[in-house]
Structure 1
Amino acid sequence: MKTTTRLLLSACLALPLLAACKKEEAPVAVVAAPLTAPATADDTAWRAYVSDVVTRNMEGIVNQPYVYYLPAPTGDEAADAGNYERLSDKATSDVSRGIVRGNMLAYASSDSAKMADIIVNAFAGVEPDTMKGVRVVFIGAAADRERVSAAVAPAAVEFIFVEAK
């Protein structure tokens, strides 16, 4: 009887230890599918898309990215021209001050040609090889890819093109 009691007591004490030793399974990381570029000029949808693309290209970036987004034309020529001028001035000013290694510049708009113009103007005065380690992400039309790539190449940036399709 003593032996049976001791075995039962030992089993009761050992059972929680064995349960605690069970290896926990690693949690499965759920990765959302990439968003597709909006077919319309809806700014809310475009902002969500740009945010998704920027987030997916952040590997190795140590600072908050500089994101330049030009809203779709509203039909008000003065307002549209003002939006373009302000963004172009900001992009040119930021690039001319110098961007250091580990930063990202992301450019996007439903109007790819205008955004390409902004990038070309911003990088026009950049000295060669002064932006090594900086990533430039251009979200736009394939027709504007080469023009933007040629404009940023002298600065020695890492250029990533994401076709908005």
Structure 2
Amino acid sequence: MNMLIRLLVVACLVLPFAACKKAEAPKVEAQAAIPLPTSSEQKDWKPYLEYKLTPHMGGITSSPFVYFLPKSDVEDFAGKYQRQLEKLEGDLGRGIIEGNMLVFASPDSEKEVEMIEAAFKSVPAGSMKGVKVIFIGTGVLGERVKAAVEPAGVNYIFEEAK
């Protein structure tokens, strides 16, 4: 009986110390900065866009709508611009609901901004609450985008292209 009591006392003293081992915090690896692509190829922009968008994905329930225009010197740029504008206008016309993200990036940011301004003119005020709009470009153009999209009630996020 004495032996049993001693074992219980020892177990009571050792068990709390064994259970108190703190769990190690998960190691967060910092993602290396990805430089701004210089090409017009969308495939070259994909890793850069993932790098820029990952911090903003909280609350997003589906894949982002990404609108990308190549440089204006590529073959059939006018056609690509027109198709992208029609796609954006169609998406906005159907309605973008809360939990979605629209992303705008281009090596020709000026034309991208013109497209955004044209498409958002017909969006009813306050109709896109809970939708994130991310523009990747320069600060001056970012202010133009902000003025064009904020009346729709979006959560506007500017990411500097660098």
TM-score by length of 2: 0.80
**How many Å apart are 1:99 and its aligned residue?**
0.7
Change (3 A) 1:36 1:75: closer
What is the one-letter code of the residue matched to 1:41?
Answer: S
What is the 5 A alignment of 1:11-22?
22=21
Aligned equivalents of 2:130, 2:63: Cα separation in 1: 15
> Do the aligned residues in 2 keep the contact of 1:132 with 1:157 (CA within 8 Å)?
yes
What is the 5 A alignment of 1:38-57?
38=37, 40-43=38-41, 44-57=43-56
Query: Deviations along 1:1-30, whole A, 9 cap, x unmatched?
Result: xxxxx9xxx9xxx9xx99898554233121
Aligned equivalents of 1:141, 1:23: Cα separation in 2: 46
Match 2:92 to one of 95, 111, 116: 95
Aligned equivalents of 1:134, 1:144: Cα separation in 2: 20
> What are structure 2's unaligned runs of at least 5 residues?
none
What is the one-letter code of the residue matched to 1:119?
Answer: I
Question: Could you tell me which residue of structure 1 aligns to residue 148 of structure 2?
Answer: 151
Query: Deviations along 1:103-146, whole A, 9 cap, x unmatched?
Result: 11001101000110111111110111111111100111223122
Deviating more after overlay: 117-126 vs 55-64: 55-64
> What are structure 1's unaligned runs of at least 5 residues?
1-5
Aligned equivalents of 1:84, 1:100: Cα separation in 2: 25
State whether structure 2 residue 120 is matched by structure 1 residue 134. no
Aligned equivalents of 1:20, 1:133: Cα separation in 2: 44
Corresponding residue pairs, total: 156
What is the one-letter code of the residue matched to 1:142?
Answer: G
Aligned equivalents of 1:114, 1:42: Cα separation in 2: 14
Aligned equivalents of 1:67, 1:61: Cα separation in 2: 14
Aligned equivalents of 1:144, 1:46: Cα separation in 2: 19
Query: Deviations along 1:53-83, whole A, 9 cap, x unmatched?
Result: 122211222222111111234542x3x1111
Aligned equivalents of 1:75, 1:58: Cα separation in 2: 31
Q: What's the Cα RMSD here?
A: 2.8
